[in-house]
Structure 1
Amino acid sequence: MSGSKIDIVPVSGKGGLKAFIELAYRLNADDPNWVPPLRADMVELLTPGKNPFHEHARMQLFLARRDGRDVGRISAHIDELALTQPEKQGMGPGTGNWGLLEAEDEAVAHALIAAAEDWLRAEGMTRVLAPISLSVWEEPGLLTHGHDHPPMFMMGHDNAAYQAWVESAGYEVAKKLYTYDLEVHEGFPPIVNRIVKSGERNENITVRTVDLKHFDRDAAIFIDILNEAWSNNWGFVPFTEAEKAYAAKKLKPIIIEGANMIAEVDGEPVAFMMSLPDMNEKLITMRGRLFPFNWARLLWWLRKPRGANFRVPLMGVVRKYQNSRLASQLAFMMIEYIRRYAVAEHGVKRAEVGWVLEDNQGMVAIAEAIQAKMNREYRIYGKPL
């Protein structure tokens, strides 16, 4: 069968989209560490008019077929906002992306990648960064270390064979992203506690929890700080106003007040830290479907996710305080307050921080200071077209 002709077919219509989405469930069915995404979320992700990413992006989905069967898939896409970023920060003019790769074997993977590259060339692109599925704010990178355990919420999981297949298609590593695992129930080292206590004595610093009654306001603070704080980071693409509103709507049902912090200096919001319960612990049993009963189970669990692990997916400090002692002090204060709350109220024993760029020295130093251990590595690859 592996020698049979492979046909690459552009996806169109609801039937094609359904086939594109469903293929991942079949190809990953035997992987105990793959977490099936909710099908409704995948439809929303890939549908213009539902996901504001498509307001500034072009996309084409492809299916690979062999002997009448779907055997692989890939997305090719161009983010117009990414094209406006400085090339030294990873994106920039002429940079397209592919993502959502699934393939039965190396021949299928190579045929899909070639089809994505051809589409990007036809659209005027001169280089590719991949995999990015679909935006850098969603699931960037290919999992290359950490296949032996499920990812936490909003992180990807890939067949371990994909690394060799991608690299044999001529791709070289552009950037590595890390996640860090840490035990939280016993607290952090004494030096971290001293830094936190020092911050508590500083009358100019206030660290507060988010307020769900005013969540639109606090979500806007999160994203405004993120846009400003990350603007010089590799791979950065700014959130639009529509994406701010969309993110707030998606996040509100899973935000727990005591586990999300905003730090202020002299009354000005200057830093934030987001922490989310690991919904993947529940999603892995749902096989991608909320109905007829899983939605009620998930909502009930979110009311009090006792014993759940937590993930810190995002934090930011405004640029004027970056590379200062205050920046690390605010980070330690927020993560310690989140730790105290999560342990006391939810019985949390383990948490995860990330993703973190490999050369983000400040965040790597914070992870080391709290004795976190790198548990997963993702790679974003580059190739000229």
Structure 2
Amino acid sequence: MSATDSATAAHVGTDAPVTVSPVEGRADTNAFIRLPYALYRDDQHWVAPLEREMRAFLDPRRNPTFDTAEIRLLLARRGKTVVGRIAVVSEPRYQERHDFTCGHFGLFECADDTGAAAALFDAAAAWLAERGLTRMLGPLSFSVNDECGLLVDGFDGPPSVGIPYNPPYYARLLTECGFGKAKDLLSWLVPMPPDGEPPAGIRRVAERTLSDPAVTVRPLDPGRWDDEMAVIKDIYNDAWAENYASVPLTDQEFRHMAAQLKAVLKPELVRIAEVDGEPAAFTMWLPDVNQALRPARGRLTTWGLPVGLLRVTLGMGRITRVRGGTSGVRKEHRSRGLVAVLLADAQRAAHRLGYTETDLSWILEDNRGSNRHAQAMGGVHFRTHRLYVRDGGPR
């Protein structure tokens, strides 16, 4: 996308016709990746993803999700100006587990242009219809294991790592294009107590659980990285098997995810609960690296100079928030109180490391147990993301 296209993508007129075409070649890939820079250039809260990571995510040779799912990237143009993008996904694992008629969309970005959005969604629906799929669920980029949901409430600050951000008008575009609510995903902000201790209720449950000599909790052992990641993957796939829109992670996908996490993950923030010496549950909290990435604007180098890298390096030492984003308890151990143990232990570890708040996200709106735990930790519901669904083919 040229500098002119980038500067005008969010403000192009509606007289020129809309065309939608698949992403083919480097120029289209660049346009797909760079469109958000035009749409968000005046938005103080947007955090640009690192371009090299986005390129890897979109590369079938480097992202193992392409081994199991069929994915098509589309661009919408008004005249010659790129005004929208979308990924459309046929995921057999989702279809076998949940709905044989449903495909996904994700990575949706668009100017405030209902005509362009409608053209994108119609093209996506047509692609899915060719594969016998008559429903479309999203945003899922590319599955529930990646970023998902459209921000519909809580636009007053930058997103935490792994959480999507978008302008308020996106919800209107989806509604105008025939989508309705499928499920809300809730985020809870937990301020760090001065002493790092969890509230009394959580503490009592944790202490009662730990009074059982069969139950122990420990941090991740970085010296056994591969073995520890295999343990977490096994618990995750078991714990999430019946969750809304869940898709099991393959070995290749989890290795790929673990390799990405290794650079930012702090072993103290990963807690593993064991019962009779066998791993039974885990929680993984991550430093909110978005606080460090934001000044880099997606690039580690500028004109060959490591300007962005320097900004990120300096910012890593100033992170104040952790995101408690991934947890799981094996089904046979869900009545033991392990969640309270893990939350209490992780919060104490975060306090020792100097973090001042925790974003517990995301939690399904109808997951009463997890939402009660977030509230019991002192959490305040501060953001809502929404999954949308549309029935039928092109309109």
TM range (shorter): over 0.9
Q: Is the 8 A contact 2:231 2:279 kept in 1?
A: yes
Cα deviation, 1:274-323, whole Å, max 9, x if unaligned, reads: 00000000111110012242335545765xx455210011000000122x
| Percent identical | 34
**Cross-structure match for 2:46:** 34
Matched, 1:8 2:20: yes
Judge conservation of contact 1:176–1:377 (CA < 8 Å) in 2: yes
Range 44-53 or range 286-295, more displaced? 286-295
In the alignment, which residue of structure 2 is the partner of 1:310? 322
Question: Contact 1:65 / 1:72 at 8 angstroms: preserved in 2?
Answer: yes
Which of 373, 377, 381 is matched with 2:384 structurally?
377
Matched, 1:352 2:359: yes
Which residue identity is paired with 1:370? M
1:269 maps to which residue?
Answer: 279
| 1:67-146 correspondence to structure 2 within 5 Å | 67-85=79-97, 87=98, 92-104=99-111, 105-146=113-154
Structure 2 residue aligned with 1:232? 242
Q: In the TM superposition, what is the alpha-carbon distance from 1:231 to its structure 2 partner?
A: 0.3
Measured after TM superposition, the shift of residue 207 of structure 1 is 0.2
- Of residues 361, 365, 370, the one that matches 2:372 is 365
Cα 1:295–1:214 shift into 2, 3 Å? farther
Match of 1:154 in 2: 162
- In the superposition, relative to structure 1, how do residues 107 and 156 fare at CA in structure 2: closer, same or farther (>3 Å)? same
Distance (Å, rounded) in 1 between the aligned partners of 2:309 and 2:252: 26
Secondary structure of 1:206's match? Answer: strand
Q: Over residues 313-335 of structure 1, what are the superposed CA-to-partner deviations in whole Å (9 max), with x where a residue is unaligned?
A: 1000000122x1x1xx2212222
Q: Is the 8 A contact 2:20 2:76 kept in 1?
A: yes
Q: For the Cα contact (< 8 Å) 1:307–1:349, is it kept in 2? A: no
Provide the C-alpha distance between the structure 1 equivalents of 2:49 and 2:89, rounded to a whole number of angstroms. 21
Q: Which moved more, 1:187-196 or 1:370-379?
A: 187-196
Segments of structure 1 that go 5 or more residues without pairing to the other structure are: none
Q: Which runs of 4+ in 1 moved over 6 A?
A: none
* SS of equivalent residue, structure 1 residue 156: coil
Deviations 1:134-193 (A, max 9, x none): 221111111111111111001100111010110111111111111111112333222222
Whole-Å Cα distance in 2 between the matches of residues 106 and 242 of structure 1?
Answer: 38
**In structure 2, what is the Cα distance between the partners aligned to 1:283 and 1:152?**
11
CA–CA separation in structure 1 for the residues paired with 2:206 and 2:272 = 15
Supply the distance in 1 between the matched residues of 2:318 and 2:84 (Cα, whole angstroms). 38
- Distance in 2 (CA, whole Å) between partners of 1:201 and 1:61 is 53
What is the CA–CA distance in structure 2 between the aligned matches of 1:306 and 1:266, rounded to whole Å? 39
User: Hey, what does 2:67 align to over in structure 1?
Assistant: 55
Is 1:195 the counterpart of 2:205? The answer is: yes
- Equivalent residues in 2 for 1:204-283, closer than 5 Å: 204-283=214-293
> Normalising by structure 2, what TM-score?
0.91
Task: Give the AA of the match of 2:153.
Answer: H
The equivalent of 2:179 in structure 1 is: 171
Q: How far 1:94 sits from its partner (Å)?
A: 2.0
Query: Which of 299, 309, 323 is equivalent to 1:295?
Result: 309
Alpha-carbon offset, residue 10 of structure 1: 1.4
What stretches of structure 2 of length at least 5 have no aligned partner? 1-12
SS at match of 1:4: coil
Looking at structure 2, the residues matched to 299 and 17 of structure 1 have their Cα atoms a distance apart, in angstroms, of 28
Aligned to 2:188: 180
Question: For the Cα contact (< 8 Å) 1:209–1:261, is it kept in 2?
Answer: yes
Query: Matches of 2:68 and 2:295 in 1, distance apart?
Result: 35
Q: Distance in 2 between matches of 1:150 and 1:301?
A: 15
CA distance in 1, matches of 2:199, 2:135: 45
Counterpart-to-counterpart distance in 1, 2:242 and 2:214: 27
Aligned length: 373
